[in-house]
A and B are shown apart, each in its own frame.
Chain A
Amino acid sequence: MADYRLIIIGGGLSGLAAGIRSARFGRKTLIVERHSLPGGLNSYYYRQGYLLETGLHAMTNFAAQGAKHAPLNRLFRQLKLSRKKFITHEQLGSEVIFPQASLQFSNDFDLLCEEIARHFPAGIDRFRAMAKEIDTYDPFAEVPWQSARDFLHDRLADPLLEDMLLLPLMVYGNAEEHDMDLGQFAIMFRALFLEGFFRPQGTMKDLIDMLLDQYAQFGGEIRFRAPVEGIISKDEKVRGIRLENGEEITADAVLSTVGIPGTAQLSGWPLALDMDEYIGKMTFMETISMLPEVHLPPERAGRTILFYSLNDELKYHRPAQAIDPSWGVICFPDNFQGLERQHDAPTQVRVTNAANYELWQQAAQDKEQYRQVKEECGQQSAAAVSQILGQYNQDAVFQDSFTPMTIERFTAKCGGAVYGSPIKIKSGRTPFENLFIAGTDQGYLGIVGAMLSGVTIVNQHLLG
């Protein structure tokens, strides 16, 4: 008999959710996590006495309690967590800013419609018709890749409006450069525009602790600092895992959340295409600044997230330089409804820009060079953002950046690609009949999406 019914590789959000689902019905389950903290991309760390979150700007897929079919509430039922006790803070409002126009949006879809009617009077009826179409589209049907850009252009016929809508949807979840799959577009459109942004009460640590507690409650086991060296297989079946310390642990099935390239490396899975095709090119640098106060231009006051482009056209692709500061995301994590700042606590601004993994990798060969590139990129980013916010970070009490190298090191995402492989495997299947994948490379997006991915794969393949 195997040591476990299920071994899950990776203690990120998809792995934790899968673990809860498996353990809930009495299956002996083990999660192995390489690092000393769970959470994967959405984790936290401590610096100068502050708890800083890594991936989270906001959670998407907001749904009020009681909306039973909403992904967020479904997820809570599946994990047997109380939605009533889960306190959420909705966004104040966000904005997409391009040189010629800007569009505000909030968790009330009508605001986006009003904004479009105001700035693109010829496009509002078309936009409403398109939104209806997206609302009924099934993004999980296994259909061939379809261009979201072609779809948008066909429905809206206004390149500026198309790019403005694509910016937030791409930067919060698109693994591909230039274009995105229509199914992914539909998922993101719903998650951001129809449902919206919120934060859980407390920090990412509280959310992760809630998941860990629930997992432990159902008898699930987790091991930290337990990097996997390989997945042991015989013929078409896997038998378990071997840890880097040489220990072998057997299981009836293995669920990997370390992506397609990572899982292929561990299992010897012969991929259909060249490995490079499964390594996403979209990676980012993010700078967190702690400021005593942020003085924003009055027209931007009280925003939660700003998506900006200093160009008329959206350049969603890997930049030729270390970062591309000409477009990006500015997030104010304190600007959510019902959050009260302690009077002496500094406030936070997070700026995210697309980055070039290869250039960062080269710079990282030399410690001093890496530090220098990081500093220069930080300045370039701040200079670009000041075109929108004014001089916002002069009196920063503290600043910290993470780069594609940091992401790769802490999240097992090859090439620092936060949204994983541009090619997804929606079924979660691999050539091994009892090895499955869940998480980013299965195609669900965001924090709620990652958890639903873990739940769905366990439901489909492992609870039978």
Chain B
Amino acid sequence: MTRDEIKDIILEIIEDIDEDADFDNLDADQPLRDQLDLDSMDFLDIVMELRKRYKLQIPEEDYPELATLTSCVNYLEPKLQDV
């Protein structure tokens, strides 16, 4: 998967989790949590959705890697390269 594809997947998952999600002014390098007003329960859903779709196990200590859109892509790129 390319970096752009991964980015689209993440946004699609967030949109799926939160019907009010608004990406208009989203800064890829700022925390998703603050910008989209997400909480830890929502982050669990992102992780669970990635696991369901790509059989990807993300250990809890790696959750900080999912803080911003850019860090998500950096973290997931090697894991999803063969998908």
Interface, chain A (partner B; CB < 8 A) = 24-26, 65-66, 68-69, 74, 77-78, 80, 82-84, 455, 459, 463
Contact = CB atoms under 8 A, between A and B. Distances in A.
Interface in B39-64: 39, 41-42, 44-45, 48-49, 51-52
Contacts of A66: 20
B37 A463 contact: no
Contact of B39 (A65, A74, A80): A74
Given A25-B51, A68-B37, A78 B45 contact: yes
Nearest to B36: A68
B39 A69 contact: yes
Given A78-B45, A459-B44, A25 B52 contact: yes
A69 B44 CA distance: 15
Given A25-B52, A84-B19, A69 B37 contact: yes
B17 interface: yes
Contacts of B52: 25-26
B8 interface: no
B27 interface: no
A459 B37 contact: no
13 contacts: A24-B48, A25-B51, A65-B20, A66-B20, A74-B41, A77-B18, A78-B41, A78-B45, A80-B16, A80-B17, A82-B19, A455-B41, A459-B41
The 3 lowest CB-CB distance pairs between A and B, nearest first, are A68-B37, A25-B48, A25-B52
Given A25-B48, A25-B52, A77 B41 contact: yes
A65 B48 CA distance: 25
Contacts of B49: 25
Given A26-B52, A69-B37, A80-B17, 16 more contacts: A25-B51, A65-B20, A68-B20, A68-B37, A68-B38, A68-B39, A74-B39, A74-B41, A77-B45, A80-B16, A82-B19, A83-B19, A459-B41, A459-B44, A463-B44, A463-B48
